[in-house]
Structures are given as structure tokens and as C-alpha cells.
């Protein structure tokens, strides 16, 4: 994508999401909430330009053909692949503390470019979060928040929000990542930025809840290959630590 394409997209009057199956040839169709937002809220009509992404890495500059509050049909003028996506695939694994904190973490992590977020039930997490029904409702909410943040930040990939996992389950996946960054007050400082990384690098960032990881949890992660990094001498809230860590690591990887 060249600079003029990016310039055109950021001037578009709307950025919308469509399921991939609603893209057919050079046409796509917005329905449900997306159609209502385009037609009734943004008041977009035939002949106007919008940008639509499918959440799977494809984005389309489109001209509206017809517009109602139930359905907006548009003709694809130009396509883009992985619009707004960093080259590095960063997974943020966060120990659950206050659920409202994780709402905020999901939104901001998606805006920054996280590819995947794993909510973790750890020793200092509230016990109620382990209940299946409570967990299911929370995850559904986080997925909706991720969709909104994807559109807000002009990204083309809807980041995955995993079901709540245990720390041992996450540790068992460590081999899937090229590097594993454990945010730990006893770790070393995150190194300065470097040149942009090659496409496809997979990185895992692990952040504890408000009370942090227990010594036993930190020992288990470092024994499995996680490298401990500190965010400085000040004590940070969980949401501040998660977003600060993600920002510094993305800068180190050349993504900011």
C-alpha cells in the first residue's frame, strides 16, 4: 500500500467490518449493526466512499451502490492486504484481575497492534472468573471490544481473544513463539528500539494481574524460557503495565 492509498483511507467517511462470506467478487454487503451505522448514523448514501475490512486481513475501498438501515451494498474499487497490521505477531497473555481493567487492556492492546490476547486465570485472579458462564460472557464482551478497537484503529485483522486459560496451559505453548517477554519487577530493562523485524515473527508478552504473578509462577515461566523484563521502579496498575510493556516491546521490535 502506498502513501496515497493510506491517505485516502484515513479520509474515508467510515471504516466498517464485513464477514468474509459477504464479499462476492467486486461487491460486498453490510448488514445488521454495520449497515445501520453506515446508513442511519453516518448517513452515507449511494456514490460515497467507505473502507471495509473483513477481519481476516483484507480491506477494501468501496463506492456505495445502495444504502438502507438494513443493508448497504458497495462496489469494491481497490483492495489492500493487511492494512494497518504490524509485521510482528504479538500475543499478549494477561493475568485476570479486575474485569473492568481487562476491558481497557483489550481495547488499547488492539489499537496498538496486538494480534492475539489470552486472558489467564492465575493465582491472584478472582475465583469467580473461573466459573464457566461468567467466563463465557466476559470473553464475548472482550471479543466485541476487540472488533470495535480494530475499526477505530483502521486495522484489517480482528485480533483473536482466547477463552480464559490457565498459566500452565499457556506455558505449554511457549515453543510456538520466537521470544517470550515476562514483565517482572526483578527483570532487566527493555532494550532500546531496533530496525523493523522480518514479517512473521511471533512474540509472547506475559503480564500479571493487579497483585502480580506469584514467585512460583514467575519461576515456572522463566524455567520454561521466558525472559524477565522490568518496567522500572514505580509500581504500576495492571492496565498501565500491560500497555506500557506492549508499547516498549513494539518499539524495540521496530513496530512503533
Supply the DSSP symbol for 111. Answer: H
- Higher-confidence position of 94 and 210: 94
CB 161 within 8 A of CB 106: yes
> How sure is the predictor about 191, in pLDDT bands with cuts at 50, 70 and 90?
confident
The HSE-up count of residue 184 (CA atoms within 13 Å, CB side) is: 20
Which grid cell is 241? 503495565
- With cell 526483578, the residue in question is 186
CB 57 within 8 A of CB 156: yes
Q: Which domains does the chain possess?
A: 3-81 (2.40.240.20), 89-252 (3.40.1280.10)
pLDDT tier at 121, thresholds 50, 70, 90: very high
In this prediction, residue 8 carries a pLDDT of 47
Q: What is the mean pLDDT of residues 193-197?
A: 66
User: What confidence score (pLDDT) does residue 199 get?
Assistant: 63
CA distances to 60, 80, 205 from 93, rounded to whole Å, are: 31, 29, 6
Report the candidate in 34, 196, 183 with the shortest Cα–Cα distance to residue 113.
196
pLDDT band, residue 256 (cuts 50/70/90):
confident
Average pLDDT over residues 84-103: 91
Question: What pLDDT is recorded for position 152?
Answer: 93
Measured distance CA(223)–CA(213) in Å, rounded = 14
- Of the given ranges (62-76, 121-135, 152-166), which has the lowest mean pLDDT? 121-135
C-alpha cell at 20: 468474509
pLDDT band at 193 (very low <50, low <70, confident <90, very high): confident
pTM for this model (two decimals) = 0.88
Average of per-residue pLDDT values in the chain: 90
Amino acid at each position: 500500500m502506498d502513501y496515497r492509498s493510506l491517505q485516502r483511507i484515513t479520509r474515508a467517511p467510515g471504516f466498517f467490518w464485513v464477514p468474509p462470506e459477504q464479499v462476492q467478487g467486486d461487491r460486498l454487503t453490510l448488514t445488521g449493526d454495520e449497515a445501520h451505522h453506515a446508513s442511519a448514523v453516518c448517513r452515507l448514501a449511494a456514490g460515497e466512499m467507505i473502507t471495509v475490512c473483513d477481519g481476516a486481513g483484507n480491506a477494501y475501498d468501496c463506492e456505495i451502490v445502495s444504502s438502507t438501515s438494513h443493508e448497504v451494498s458497495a462496489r469494491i474499487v481497490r483492495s489492500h492486504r493487511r492494512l494497518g497490521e504490524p509485521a510482528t505477531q504479538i500475543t499478549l497473555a494477561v493475568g485476570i484481575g479486575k474485569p473492568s481493567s481487562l476491558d481497557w487492556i483489550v481495547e488499547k492492546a488492539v489499537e496498538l497492534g496486538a494480534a492475539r490476547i489470552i486472558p489467564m486465570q492465575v493465582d491472584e485472579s478472582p475465583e469467580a472468573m473461573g466459573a464457566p458462564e461468567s467466563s463465557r460472557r466476559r470473553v464475548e464482551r472482550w471479543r466485541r471490544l476487540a472488533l470495535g478497537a480494530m475499526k477505530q484503529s483502521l486495522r484489517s485483522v480482528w485480533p483473536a481473544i482466547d477463552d480464559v486459560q490457565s498459566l500452565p496451559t499457556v506455558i505449554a505453548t511457549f515453543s510456538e513463539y520466537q521470544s517470550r517477554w515476562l514483565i517482572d519487577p526483578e527483570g532487566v530493562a527493555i532494550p532500546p528500539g531496533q530496525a523493523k523485524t522480518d514479517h512473521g515473527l511471533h512474540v509472547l508478552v506475559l503480564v500479571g494481574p493487579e497483585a502480580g504473578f506469584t514467585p512460583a509462577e514467575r519461576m515456572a515461566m522463566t524455567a520454561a524460557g521466558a525472559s524477565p523484563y522490568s518496567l522500572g521502579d514505580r509500581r504500576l496498575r495492571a492496565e498501565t503495565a500491560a500497555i506500557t510493556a506492549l508499547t516498549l516491546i513494539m518499539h524495540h521490535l521496530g513496530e512503533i
